[in-house]
Chains A and B, each alone.
Chain A
Amino acid sequence: MGRKWFFENLQSILLLVAIIFLIKFKKNLNKKKKLINIFIIFHIIGLIYYFGEEISWGQHFFNWTSPDFFKVYNNQNETNIHNISNIFDQLPRTLILLWCGLSIPIILLFNNFLKIDKNILELICPNKNLLYVSFILLIFVLPDFFIDKLDLHPGASGIINPFINSAYFYDIISLNFIRLSELHELIFSFYFFYYSFLSLRNLDKNNDKLKY
């Protein structure tokens, strides 16, 4: 049991709770709001994919031997498809990053100028506290993103004198001294957990209002 174990299990728990909350949210949702229903269904399917891939569809817990197909094509010989091709890994990851990092700031910004429908606004941003999570994610993503895109990192850090090494400097400011991708995934999971929690809470509040 190590750091990786902690990260992965915490992520799995957050995602599982998020899926349960969203299913409950979908059950209590007004069937007439078709667009919102479809959005939530896609959200649940996406989260099930993310959760399933994260635990290799149960292999991490039940330790079965991977089928031959995965032994051949999967980079880590695990029963998941995100280690087979970038289409199943980097593409969904980028979409999640854009969604978690930018959807809330953009919709709140637009809401200042345009009159966005209340249902759509609540669907994307159930509570303004979610903005904090987006900002946290951006703090962890942007330094690494700019250092990578501007090609500032000189490469692997030398071991002879680590104190005066620019590679080490860039590792520190981009927060690459920890397993950054794992941390991003943890923030994604927390975002989805928090989103589903807030959505369900909003719905319960609205339903309570209707009762009285």
Chain B
Amino acid sequence: MKKNITQHLVFVFVFLLLLILIEGALCQPQIDIVIKRQVSNILPFKFCNNFFFNKFWEENGFLKIYNLFYC
């Protein structure tokens, strides 16, 4: 069935909601850690690993979580 503008509006809105959900989920510290851990394993990132992570976690007060996984 050919979709009309009314259905397209709903699809666009649902897509927007999904984007908001994904963006919200990625900003979670718990998910953030997993992503940053993966990123830090990539060679070029290893050079700045100590500087970036220590500074980032200290500033954000998450040093304890960082230590839990890295120490």
Chains A and B form a bound pair = yes
Spell out A's residues near B (CB within 8 Å).
3, 127, 129, 132-133, 136, 159-163, 168, 175, 177-179, 183, 186-187, 190, 194, 197-198, 201
Cross-interface CB contact of A168 among B30, B62, B64, B65, cutoff 8 Å: B30
Main secondary structure of the interface of B (DSSP, over half): helix
Inter-subunit contact B6/A133 (CB<8 Å):
no
Please, how many angstroms separate the alpha-carbon atoms of A3 and B19 in the complex?
12
Q: Which A-chain residue is minimally distant from B10 (CB atoms)? A: A132
Q: How far is the CA of A50 from the CA of B10 in the complex (A)?
A: 22
- Residues of chain A lying within 8 A (CB to CB) of residue B14: 132, 136
Q: Check B68 against A178 for contact (C-beta < 8 Å).
A: no
B17 at the interface (CB under 8 A from A): yes
By a beta-carbon cutoff of 8 Å, the part of chain B in contact with chain A is 6-7, 9-10, 13-14, 17, 20-21, 23-25, 28-30, 62, 64-65, 68
Shortest beta-carbon distance from B68 to chain A in Å: 7
Give the chain A neighbours of B65 by CB distance below 8 A. Answer: 159-160, 162
Alpha-carbon distance A182/B3, docked complex (angstroms):
30
Let me know if B10 and A194 touch, CB within 8 A.
yes
Residues of A within 8 A of B23 (CB): 3
Q: Is the interface of A mostly helix, strand, loop or mixed?
A: helix
User: Could you tell me the distance in whole angstroms from the C-beta of A192 to the nearest C-beta in chain B?
Assistant: 12
Q: A136-B14, A183-B17 given as contacts; is B30 within 8 A of A194 (CB)?
A: no
Residues on the A chain within 8 Å of B20, using CB: 178, 183, 186
A162 CA to B30 CA in the complex, in Å? 7
Beta-carbon contact of A129 and B6 below 8 Å: yes
Interchain CA distance A183-B9 in the complex, whole Å: 17
A175 in contact with B21 (CB, 8 Å): yes
* Known interface pairs A175-B21, A178-B21, A183-B20; A159-B10 also in contact (CB < 8 Å): no
Residues of B within 8 A of A3 (CB): 23
List A contacts of B7 (CB < 8 A): 129
What's the least CB distance linking A36 to chain B, in Å? 21
Indicate which residue in B6, B13, B64 contacts A127 across the interface (CB closer than 8 Å): B6
